[in-house]
Structure 1
Amino acid sequence: MVTLIGKLGMTGLFAGALLIASCSPSGAPHAEPRKEFSIGWSIYAGWMPWPYAQQAGIVKKWGDKYGIRINVVQVNDYVESVNQYTAGKFDGVTVTNMDALTIPAAGGKDTSAIIVGDYSNGNDGILLKGGNSLADIKGRETYLVELSVSHYLLARGLEKAGLKPTDVRTVNTSDADLVSAFSAPDVTAAVTWNPQLSVMKAQPGVTQVFSSADIPGEIVDLLVVDTATLKANPDLGKALAGIWYETVALMQRQDEQGKAARAAMAKLSGSTPQAFDSQLKTTFLYGEPKAAVDAATAPALVTTMTKVRDFSFSKGLFKGAASADAVGMAFPGGKTLGDPQHVTLRFDESFMKLAADGKL
């Protein structure tokens, strides 16, 4: 799931990204202790606990516990929210694993993924009109947000179907415009994520021929925070973990309180309770902090991020880089991928572990 501010705008961002990275010293820059922070979010089923937590007072509760104030801010365009985080407007943002790598990390912004929230288990899909299998996509114009996880899903689908990337021609389309674009009779192939996916799939004659459920665990949804800010303000990480796991526990309850929480999240996302519950069914939520810690420390995460970075490099998302190793990643247990001297994406399980151990 993802959106773009336009191919040229994104390309321009990446063009300067590696320049920033190449000029930055290794390690996170210095940051000061603070009392107020902002977290950006955009609409997606797996991220709706954040605005609901603010609405329900859960954000304030955990902020008060640690003597800080956290502002949870909606941005209507997903990639714009990540761009704003990269530019320093937000201290953290909701983002997929691929976009965390290709936008802030590739741009030299040292970023820590502190909550592994879920993976898409059918929330992203490839749709065709007049076709029953992915093989039928050959030769078609395919509408999607280019250079996003939708593009990654398409590439993985083509690979599994024995097709080449050149067998389709992609048409870059904003996530806000995909539903209307796909309504045109001459547009017969598209890749997107929920809630747009559900709307488009319901059109007459449309078949979903591939989804993220076919590559489980590869499209991961995260909360990331600026590493320097986190280092100077560890209570921010503790508060965010507390907010997340209290809210997720509430939304998973099957009583009236849980139902009311999910209905409120549905309303915040512009959806109905029924549609939102349907989207949750295709979201593999790590509801328990221990499950999230296990996911963050599993060797499978390194395998997934290897696939993601290799795809990203092949698409030119590490502008100016000689290899996919240009952007370093660090994982729990001391494992690194890429350049260990220029690590700018870190999977930090420590706050999830505090939640799992009941030590927040």
Structure 2
Amino acid sequence: MDTTPGRIWGMKSKHPGRWPGDGDKMFEAKPPPTMSPPAGRPDSPTNHSDMHRSSGRRLAWKTWEVWMTWQAAARAGLAIGVLTVWLGLAACSEPPVPALTVGMNTWVGYDPLVLARDRQLIDTQQVKVVDLSSSSETLRHFRNGLLDAAALTLDEALRLTDEGFDLRVVAVLDTSTGADVVLANPAVQSLAQLHGAGIAVEGTTVGALMLERLLQAAGLERTDVNVVNMEATLHLSALRSGHVSAAVSYEPVAGLLRAAGYKDIFDSRLTPGDIVDVLVVRASTLQERPAQVDALLAGWQRGLQALQERPEAAARLLAPGVELSPEDYLATLQKLTFYSTEQSLELLSGAPPALGQDASRLVTTLQTMGLIKAAPDWRRLLAPEPARRLKETSE
């Protein structure tokens, strides 16, 4: 064993004469009492005095060896004790809980979460807000287990449930009253002129739903048009190339199409109650990490409050992120109706729940379109508890 001051088992200490990492004086490595090893034993003692001195030296040497052995054992025992305690604490300590990851696409209706994140109105230790390019990407991430929660339209949530995903709707965020829109080439003057035309639509349930309502309003069948499935970010290039004549879109992408000269021909004001935004979490996340779900709802509410109290300031901050001018951003907000915590709780509650009753037409349409097989179990799907806790803490 290396007995150099400040070194224990080859580890160097910043404080010579102490155990590594220990500042407590009780662990100082004190040298043995002044006792130099005796000189070598004489070969041939000449008298009894020499013999007594030689015996004394042998005794001194033996005593010194015993002292050093005791010191080594004491040090080794202390080190083993410290190591044992450290290993015990390491085994008992719980691994850190990861933040809840919530995903959303670039939709103005989800911007209270962006505002909460950017203005530090949400607990970032508990919740991580992730921006995604489209609702299709959000659904992919959720299906692949990369998200614990997501901001979705209600029809998308119903489709995930029908696919077998065990999720819970914990908040009703807003409803679209004109923010979802179909734009077309200026040459299209009436809905009937879409007969035989190409229509771009994102491969999501809300895209399919808007297309269905458009065709119903135009008196057309799906076979009367050429449906081209593509993500919303590709709609502008498809319109410019003439590959399609119209596109099912939403803000802020719709704003880019308008700026390029394409005109609104149909919007969600004509389909009240069809397009509702909700916040969903995995059932396992709600059960295992309810505090994080509560932090998510509290962050949303603070972001919404900041947006509604100072909309112009929020528009200046958020509009560049969705490629809109502050004026166009404020105009888009007018096409959305946001729900308070109390209103959301009311929609999630009841027997049967109010949201389930309001969405009965939507469910029937999705079943007719073959997008879901059966109506959902609303009492299982809706989870009002987090909203109820948020309401109680804010009173």
TM-score by length of 2: 0.69
Unaligned stretches of 5+ residues in structure 1? 1-31, 319-323, 332-342
Partner of 1:173: 230
Partner of 2:391: 356
Distance in 2 (alpha carbons) for counterparts of 1:55 and 1:186: 39
Instruction: Letter of the 1:351 partner, please give it.
Output: P
Structure of greater relative contact order (alpha carbons < 8 Å, 6+ residues apart):
1
Give CA deviations for 1:251-297 in whole Å, capped at 9, x if unaligned.
1114xxx53233222233333322221211111111x2122233444
Partner of 1:73: 130
Partner of 1:347: 382
Does structure 1 residue 267 correspond to structure 2 residue 330? no
Distance in 2 (alpha carbons) for counterparts of 1:81 and 1:128: 26
- 5 Å matches for 1:1-360? 34=97, 36-60=99-123, 69-102=126-159, 104-129=160-185, 130-185=187-242, 187-204=244-261, 206-254=262-310, 258-286=311-339, 288-297=340-349, 301-303=355-357, 305-318=359-372, 324-325=373-374, 328-331=376-379, 346-359=381-394
2:355 match: secondary structure: helix
| Residue pair 1:147, 1:315 contacting (<8 A) in 2 also | no
Relative to 1, partners in 2 of residues 1:147 and 1:78: Cα closer, same or farther, differing over 3 Å? closer
1:315 to partner: Cα distance: 4.0
| Residue pair 2:346, 2:354 contacting (<8 A) in 1 also | no
Distance in 2 (alpha carbons) for counterparts of 1:201 and 1:55: 28
1:108 match: secondary structure: coil
Distance in 2 (alpha carbons) for counterparts of 1:178 and 1:35: 37
Aligned residues: 298
Distance in 2 (alpha carbons) for counterparts of 1:246 and 1:109: 29
1:73 to partner: Cα distance: 1.5
Distance in 2 (alpha carbons) for counterparts of 1:107 and 1:229: 19
Relative to 1, partners in 2 of residues 1:163 and 1:187: Cα closer, same or farther, differing over 3 Å? closer
Whichever of the two has the greater Rg, that structure is 2
Relative to 1, partners in 2 of residues 1:33 and 1:301: Cα closer, same or farther, differing over 3 Å? farther
| Residue pair 2:198, 2:225 contacting (<8 A) in 1 also | yes
Distance in 1 (alpha carbons) for counterparts of 2:394 and 2:264: 44
Distance in 2 (alpha carbons) for counterparts of 1:221 and 1:122: 14
Distance in 2 (alpha carbons) for counterparts of 1:132 and 1:304: 33
Instruction: Letter of the 1:291 partner, please give it.
Output: Q
1:178 to partner: Cα distance: 0.7
Unaligned stretches of 5+ residues in structure 2? 1-94
Instruction: Letter of the 2:273 partner, please give it.
Output: G
| Residue pair 2:158, 2:376 contacting (<8 A) in 1 also | no
Distance in 1 (alpha carbons) for counterparts of 2:268 and 2:393: 33
| Residue pair 2:105, 2:132 contacting (<8 A) in 1 also | yes
TM-score by length of 1: 0.75
Answer with 158-167 or 88-97: which moved more. Answer: 158-167
